Chains A and B, each alone.
Chain A
Amino acid sequence: MAQTILKQWGSKLAIAGAIVLYLLPLLGMDFSTYMTLTIAGLAMGMMLFLVASGLSIIFGLMDVINFAHGVCFAYGAYVAFSVFKYLNAWVTADSVFLNFGIFFIAIVAAFIVVAVVGMVVERVLVRRVYGSHLFQILITFGGMVVLTELIRIIWGPNDEVMPKPVSFAGNWNIFDIIILKYPIYAIALGLIVYAVIQLILKKTKVGKIVRAGVENPEMVQAMGHNIFLIFTGVFAVGAGLAAVGGLTMAIFNLQVYPDMGGAYLIFAFIIVIIGGLGSVTGSLVGALIVGLSYNYVAYLLPSLAVGVNILIMVIILLIKPTGLFAAGK
């Protein structure tokens, strides 16, 4: 009896519990600070989602642990940095239209360039080590080191200031609550990307094949689909998404630096584990959990900000070892 109730209401109870938990920080701060942190947390969550979703699908579909994924994040930021530099007039123009235009161009350029990098990484490195996690870790770690060095060669070894399009700065004042504009844009971008991914996975043939492959790649092959072509494509898209996450984060933090990928890779792995391997929705929820927790805790108890996410991961794994939204594996 108690068990069936728990089964029926378990997910609702969990959601209610989570909401209560996420209202708790209110006890330690005033409401407008809470709102600022919440929006910053959601924005960070959305950017992390962009990194983690690719990692999760690559992990779920191909069973590949890809340490080079973080580098894609950095490359995305640097490609956008170059685009901003080249078309600086659009960045500094006091025109919402031009500012969004350059943002869009940067997204497309970063996505394409890094998707190609991802394709090369899959073909040259990962293709050789399917089936062996140890070799995957070693070879993609090696790839990460080399690609990071390449950043230093192409763009220089130093931190650079990432410009922010003029109209992305500033804020709205709603009932005395200051709401920064750019985090809202980042949240919107994340939601759009999530919707597009879902649409592709749910409505297109390729998307259905990818979801089938996450469950059983061998069967997908036996049905006549070239799984390696699908792997390459998914790897490229995953890399491209990380790139979009990277450039969004760079604008948020106003900087790019060669090692920036590694710093966020740890978050991405935590999110993938919390959300469940291969689940895009899991990545979104996991990323929001991590983004919010990080921001609240960083404000209240700065030294625990990363640790609390690892703690959340451990608790979720204890309750649900497959993560929140594991695909039917």
Chain B
Amino acid sequence: MSETILKTEAIHTFIGQHHILQGVSFEARADAVTVLIGRNGAGKSSTLKTVMGLLPASEGKIIFKGKEIQSRKPYDIARLGIGFVPENMGIFADLTVEENMQVAMLREDAATAERLESVLEMFTALRDFWRAKAGILSGGQKQMLAIARAIINDTALLLIDEPTKGLAPIIINALIDAINQIKQHSVVVLVEQNFYMASSVGDYFFILDDGKVVHSGAMAELVQDEEMQSKYLGISKSV
């Protein structure tokens, strides 16, 4: 058995009066990419936000590297080594690409500079637009910037929410390459509705529906199970 880096135990989350997460339990192994899938409104984004502390869990536990983090503040959680790429990417449009990266850097040491070099090698467009306002970037470039910001620190766990949303197939392929590179250093938890992407990078899956996990297993099984795919994803296998 490999080690588990992140585990949620029956977390419940309310937004206002709405009981959004109704006991979500999932885990991410340290040696694998875990994908959360499920139709729109299933609670995938809310799950990531709850892990980050951006939504408060009213019940349940969130365990990161053996420590309970469910009552910590988002900035403390981030400093434990969790990087977050939200669904809307959270780009600071009025800041330059460089400034976006600087805001993300928690230290400005040699190790960070080294990571920056390799990030810019992976996402070369960011170097081209280094001094430009991030607002002018294309959708794919913004996604790259959002991911770059999230891995610029010593990130043990990277949470990415639907990075392929609205992107062209060729860019999706670039993202797949990127995630395959990133997983060498950080554990990746991915929310993904694009099954091509999900199956290309994912090792394990959890399917959410109505604020609960309804299925989980190895990605290889889900690839075989077309019935389950169409039930919860309503997608075709191609891009």
Could you list which residues of chain A lie within 8 angstroms of chain B, going by C-beta atoms?
Answer: 205, 208-209, 211-212, 214-216, 218-227, 327-328
- Please give me the residue from chain A that is nearest to B150 by CB atom: A223
Whether the pair B52, A222 counts as a contact (CB closer than 8 A) is yes
A212 to B135, CA, bound (A): 12
Whether the pair B54, A221 counts as a contact (CB closer than 8 A) is yes
Whether the pair B95, A208 counts as a contact (CB closer than 8 A) is yes
Residues of A within 8 A of B79 (CB): 224
Name which of A224, A225, A227 has the most chain B CB atoms within 10 A of its CB.
A224
Whether the pair A221, B92 counts as a contact (CB closer than 8 A) is no
- Dominant secondary structure of chain A at its interface with chain B: helix
Shortest beta-carbon distance from B86 to chain A in Å:
7
With A218-B90, A220-B103, A224-B153 as known contacts, state yes or no: A212 contacts B95, CB within 8 Å: yes
Residues of B within 8 A of A205 (CB): 102-103
Name which of B75, B104, B106, B149 has the most chain A CB atoms within 10 A of its CB.
B75
In the complex, 17 of the A-B residue pairs with CB atoms within 8 angstroms, ordered by the A residue number, are A208-B95, A208-B102, A211-B94, A215-B94, A218-B54, A218-B90, A219-B90, A219-B92, A221-B75, A222-B54, A222-B75, A222-B84, A223-B78, A223-B84, A223-B104, A223-B149, A224-B153
CB contact list, B45-66 vs A, under 8 A = 52, 54
Residues of B within 8 A of A222 (CB): 52, 54, 74-75, 78, 84, 86, 90
Whether the pair A211, B75 counts as a contact (CB closer than 8 A) is no
B203 close to A (CB within 8 Å): no
Complex interface bits, B74-95 against A, C-beta within 8 A gives 1, otherwise 0: 1100110000101000101111
Whether the pair A224, B106 counts as a contact (CB closer than 8 A) is yes
Please name the 8 residue pairs, one residue from A and one from B, whose CB atoms are nearest each other, closest first. Answer: A219-B90, A224-B78, A328-B94, A328-B93, A221-B74, A212-B92, A224-B79, A222-B84
A224 to B104, CA, bound (A): 8
B27 close to A (CB within 8 Å): no
Residues of B within 8 A of A209 (CB): 103
Whether the pair A208, B99 counts as a contact (CB closer than 8 A) is yes
Query: In the complex, given contacts A219-B90, A221-B73, A221-B75, what are 13 additional A-B residue pairs having Cβ atoms less than 8 angstroms apart?
Result: A208-B95, A208-B99, A208-B103, A211-B99, A212-B100, A216-B92, A219-B92, A220-B103, A222-B52, A223-B103, A224-B79, A327-B94, A328-B93
Whether the pair A225, B75 counts as a contact (CB closer than 8 A) is yes
Shortest beta-carbon distance from A42 to chain B in Å:
27
CB contact list, B145-182 vs A, under 8 A = 149, 153
Shortest beta-carbon distance from B49 to chain A in Å:
9
Whether the pair B78, A221 counts as a contact (CB closer than 8 A) is yes
Shortest beta-carbon distance from A197 to chain B in Å:
16
- Please give me the residue from chain B that is nearest to A214 by CB atom: B94
Residues of A within 8 A of B99 (CB): 208, 211-212
Residues of B within 8 A of A226 (CB): 73, 75
A224 to B79, CA, bound (A): 5
Complex interface bits, B206-238 against A, C-beta within 8 A gives 1, otherwise 0: 000000000000000000000000000000000
- Please give me the residue from chain A that is nearest to B81 by CB atom: A224
A328 to B99, CA, bound (A): 14
Residues of A within 8 A of B73 (CB): 221, 226
Residues of A within 8 A of B104 (CB): 223
Shortest beta-carbon distance from B162 to chain A in Å:
16
Shortest beta-carbon distance from B129 to chain A in Å:
16
A215 to B149, CA, bound (A): 16
Residues of A within 8 A of B149 (CB): 223
Residues of B within 8 A of A218 (CB): 54, 74, 86, 90
Residues of B within 8 A of A221 (CB): 54, 73-75, 78
A223 to B153, CA, bound (A): 10
Residues of A within 8 A of B84 (CB): 222-223
- Please give me the residue from chain B that is nearest to A205 by CB atom: B102
- Please give me the residue from chain A that is nearest to B89 by CB atom: A219
Shortest beta-carbon distance from B85 to chain A in Å:
9
Shortest beta-carbon distance from B209 to chain A in Å:
26
A62 to B126, CA, bound (A): 30
A208 to B78, CA, bound (A): 18
Whether the pair B153, A219 counts as a contact (CB closer than 8 A) is no
Whether the pair A328, B92 counts as a contact (CB closer than 8 A) is yes
Whether the pair B103, A212 counts as a contact (CB closer than 8 A) is yes
Shortest beta-carbon distance from A76 to chain B in Å:
30
Shortest beta-carbon distance from A208 to chain B in Å:
5
